Structure 1
Amino acid sequence: AAGEPATAAHAMRGHVMAVPVPSGDDPDGDGYIPANPPVTGVQPSTDIPPHRYFHEFQANCSVTHTGSVDPIVYPGQLNKSHNHTFMGNDTTDENSTTASLSAGGTACKAPGDLSAYWIPTLYNGDQEVRPVGPQTIYYKAGVTDYTSVRPFPKGLRFVVGNPMQTADEFRNHPGKVEGWECGESYNNFEFPATCPSRPDVQLNLRMQAPSCWDGQHLDTPD
């Protein structure tokens, strides 16, 4: 899940994957993969936390490889998807499962973080442009009532964005975020027209994942 600046640059209206563990774990093929155990009995708190509290943790994961696969949308299908840039787990491919990722290696700074993340690959003409250095994925409470936040289970996968959205639908979507950034240029829905030629400046893109989960399913058919 990416909710703050990251140096990963990719197509704003393409779908973006930020996935602890992708597909391949659905033995009956109905598309519903239950969490075991489910998260139940969460009661929202009426307490207002002290203002000084701000709860988040960060995953810093580097790029491992690229490929025209998408384990969530097109599981088991090679070259079905547009090209993606993969970060984190170094084994992610069209056949990835919870078990295969758990047995893989990682390009995340935390050695136990075997999560897999992928985004549409950015191109300059026909040349891939990969993100530079570790990419920052922020996990944070999107609510002030942090006492009712629960950790998601191993195996959860989710998709951020919708490639079928029009530009207008994206601009007016309640979940939209700042988009492309470069130097002092922010809030861009398209590539910034100019980018300062300095070593401390990179093209950034903010993407924001959902801040809630049904507590029941690791994945659903849609």
Structure 2
Amino acid sequence: MNRKIALGYLGGVLFILTTSCWAAPQAQVQCDYDHTLADDPILMPGEPGMAMLHDFFGNKHTNANSTNASLKAHQNASCNNAADASAYWAPALKLPDGRIIKPAYQKTYYQANGSSLPNLQPFPEGIQILAGNHEGTSSNDGVISFLCSNSSYSSVATTNCGPAAGADHVQLDIGIMFPNCWDGKTLIPKTYDDPTLVYTTGPNTCPADHPVQLPQVNMNVAYIIPGTTPFDLSKTLLSLDPVMVDGKMQAQWGSIYTAHGDFMHAWTTQGAEFMAVLCMNVGMDCGTNIPYAYSVAQDTYVSNLADSDKNFSTETIVKAQDTWNDSGPDNTQPQSIGLIKVDIPPLPDASTGYPSDPNVMLNYALRIYGANVSTSDSEAVFFHVVDNNWNASTVTWNTQPTCDQYSASVNPVLSSTMGWLYVDVTDMVKTAMDAGKTQISFCLTGAREGQVFNITSSEDLHSLVLMQRLTRKITSE
């Protein structure tokens, strides 16, 4: 079955989105602190050393001359998902006692803002986003928040920022919520007051002059501060742009309420598409499962008996049903075999660190949405590798590829409730690639006791996709 229509474009194909309700679907990435520079490639591009001190996360090559394109050309980053070569930065932090504390990491949640009608669009190539007020003197509710290990998140800086009970350090988090309604044209803001993006006014509500809703960037910068003595967060300082005094640059520091953040997008194109369209717009909490690249499946199923010459390519499910007797499949009973074929994405760019860096790992998974629809039990469905010599629009039971039902490659368990599942097919995909193949096909068979398994086909956004996942081991995990 081939994907047909929906609202918005994905890979050049137009789609219709189904409407549903959920609680804030999201994705996330965690990036170690990497370096500190007096650079700001968004507001002071091409002016190294002229900005406030910024702590940088993510792309290791970020400096005053960075652009979205340069980040993608040099993808080595400090993030646990190697699909993300973006740059994130925030001003350096100084405690009341004068110590400048380097952050440990930042964790960013990409969120759908509780939307009940999914209409998120992927980050456009080249977009750069600012959040916060670098001239702030008071709380910035809804945008900037603070968390100490002995308290909860608040927009007001506590005077008693201390450790959790029994801890030997204080963890301070500064949360920065970025705007997520885009004007549809401006990619690079000129000032913090430049309304390139604005905040939503409610679930799925963007103003008419900023009609494009993007995933909301919720960046949390974490500082691990040694010792158990509480400190006054309200008197903690953040770096400001330097000033010239007697012909010399002089560093400036401002209130904790000058907290702000910068984001320069450099996710892979397919990673950004997947995050918005195939994750949040279908109500899925994808966690760290945003692929470096993916392929949408060509899929269908075949059925025996009276349906042996019938093609099911217009169905919205991939069906597997299997009844066995003592000698094997019982073809006097109804049988259905699912068929899936996907292109294998090209290998990731070497600039990600793959395959030379042992901390960068590549794997493949089929993302499926399905269930055992015939009983209340959880049962296994069997995946077998088959030849690629079939076509979803013409294949029937009588013309199907040979499916060796005695030897399954993987057998994930599906419950009786429709749900998401990642099926690890790394070994099978790598074997196919070693044989010079650019596609891989699977047949799906049932639990051999007559149960019926339904898996949502590529007809809608609950799609069968092959995910190429590139993960990176980082020190903060």
Q: TM-score range by the shorter chain?
A: 0.5 to 0.7
User: CA distance change for structure 1 residues 50 and 215 in 2, over 3 Å: closer, same or farther?
Assistant: same
In the alignment, does 2:177 pair up with 1:208? yes
Range with greater deviation from structure 2 (82-91 or 97-106) = 97-106
Q: Which residue of 2 aligns with 1:16?
A: none
- Residue from 72, 89, 98 that aligns with 1:118: 89
Are the counterparts in 2 of residues 180 and 189 from structure 1 also a CA contact under 8 Å? no
Alpha-carbon separation, structure 1, partners of 2:27 and 2:117: 13
How far the C-alpha of 1:76 sits from its partner, in A, is 0.8
Q: Specify the code of the residue in structure 2 equivalent to 1:101.
A: L
User: CA distance change for structure 1 residues 70 and 81 in 2, over 3 Å: closer, same or farther?
Assistant: same
In the alignment, does 2:100 pair up with 1:128? yes
Secondary structure at the residue paired with 2:182? coil
Are the counterparts in 2 of residues 57 and 139 from structure 1 also a CA contact under 8 Å? yes
Are the counterparts in 1 of residues 54 and 90 from structure 2 also a CA contact under 8 Å? yes
Are the counterparts in 1 of residues 132 and 143 from structure 2 also a CA contact under 8 Å? no
Unmatched tracts of structure 1, length 5 or more: 1-36, 38-44
Are the counterparts in 1 of residues 34 and 78 from structure 2 also a CA contact under 8 Å? yes
How far the C-alpha of 1:159 sits from its partner, in A, is 0.7
How far the C-alpha of 1:158 sits from its partner, in A, is 0.8
Secondary structure at the residue paired with 1:187? coil
Cα deviations across residues 106-160 of structure 1 (Å, max 9, x unaligned)? 111112211000000112355431122x421000011423521111122210111
Cα RMSD, aligned residues only: 2.6
TM-score (norm: length of structure 2): 0.33
Q: Which residue of 2 aligns with 1:33?
A: none
User: CA distance change for structure 1 residues 177 and 84 in 2, over 3 Å: closer, same or farther?
Assistant: closer
In the alignment, does 2:119 pair up with 1:148? yes
- Residue from 142, 145, 148 that aligns with 1:181: 148
In the alignment, does 2:43 pair up with 1:73? yes
Are the counterparts in 2 of residues 181 and 205 from structure 1 also a CA contact under 8 Å? no
Higher relative contact order (CA 8 A, sep 6+): 1
Q: Which residue of 2 aligns with 1:99?
A: 69
Alpha-carbon separation, structure 1, partners of 2:188 and 2:134: 19
Alpha-carbon separation, structure 1, partners of 2:144 and 2:182: 20
User: CA distance change for structure 1 residues 193 and 77 in 2, over 3 Å: closer, same or farther?
Assistant: same
Alpha-carbon separation, structure 2, partners of 1:109 and 1:186: 25
Cα deviations across residues 37-87 of structure 1 (Å, max 9, x unaligned)? 9xxxxxxx995x334x53100011111100111001111112221100000
Alpha-carbon separation, structure 2, partners of 1:107 and 1:145: 34
Alpha-carbon separation, structure 2, partners of 1:97 and 1:177: 26
Q: What percentage of residue pairs aligned between the two structures are identical?
A: 33
Alpha-carbon separation, structure 2, partners of 1:146 and 1:114: 30
Are the counterparts in 1 of residues 25 and 114 from structure 2 also a CA contact under 8 Å? no
Are the counterparts in 1 of residues 29 and 81 from structure 2 also a CA contact under 8 Å? yes
How far the C-alpha of 1:200 sits from its partner, in A, is 7.6
How far the C-alpha of 1:191 sits from its partner, in A, is 4.9
Secondary structure at the residue paired with 1:110? coil
User: CA distance change for structure 1 residues 188 and 214 in 2, over 3 Å: closer, same or farther?
Assistant: closer
User: CA distance change for structure 1 residues 214 and 188 in 2, over 3 Å: closer, same or farther?
Assistant: closer
Q: Specify the code of the residue in structure 1 equivalent to 2:181.
A: C
Q: Specify the code of the residue in structure 2 equivalent to 1:193.
A: N
Are the counterparts in 2 of residues 69 and 80 from structure 1 also a CA contact under 8 Å? yes
Q: Is the strand fraction higher in 1 or 2?
A: 2
Q: Which residue of 1 aligns with 2:21?
A: 50
In the alignment, does 2:161 pair up with 1:194? yes
Alpha-carbon separation, structure 2, partners of 1:220 and 1:185: 32
Secondary structure at the residue paired with 2:81? coil
Secondary structure at the residue paired with 1:100? helix
How far the C-alpha of 1:98 sits from its partner, in A, is 2.3
Q: Specify the code of the residue in structure 1 equivalent to 2:102.
A: R
How far the C-alpha of 1:209 sits from its partner, in A, is 0.7
Q: Specify the code of the residue in structure 1 equivalent to 2:34.
A: T
Secondary structure at the residue paired with 2:80? coil
> What are the residue-to-residue correspondences of 1:22-37 with 2, within 5 Å?
none
Secondary structure at the residue paired with 1:74? coil
Are the counterparts in 1 of residues 147 and 174 from structure 2 also a CA contact under 8 Å? yes
Secondary structure at the residue paired with 1:64? strand
Alpha-carbon separation, structure 1, partners of 2:103 and 2:189: 30
